[in-house]
Amino acid sequence: MSTVYELHIHGMSCKHCVQVLTQELNAISGVEVLSVDIGIARIAVDDTLRAHSMTDVLHQAVSEAGFTMTLFHECQRQA
């Protein structure tokens, strides 16, 4: 089981930004990247991962890609 989250990302302006962020998010164990567009990413996070530590991991990945994440919220659950 996993939970889908929507991340609001600031600082993205082009397709290269999308590629860089996608690579960073794909590198996180337990995260499936569903979509990345300029300013927003949707990911599925394995429910066995602890939510508070995942938030820190996601903030770090977004930062390493050169952007900031200002909103992180649950959208839906999926099997």
Please determine, for residue 72, whether its predicted confidence score (pLDDT) is greater than 90.
no
The dihedral built from the CA positions of residue 17, 20, 22 and 28, taken in this order, carries a sign that is negative
The overall pTM is greater than 0.75:
yes
Averaged pLDDT for residues 6-19: 96
What is the amino acid identity at position 31?
Answer: V
Asked if residues 6 and 76 have their Cβ atoms less than 8 Å apart, the reply is no
Q: pLDDT band at residue 77, thresholds of 50, 70 and 90?
A: low
Provide CB contacts within 8 A for 16, sequence distance 6+.
none
For residue 75, what pLDDT is reported? 77
For residue 79, what pLDDT is reported? 59
Burial of 52 (0-12, 13-18, 19+ CB in 10 A): exposed
Class (C level, CATH) for 2-78: alpha beta
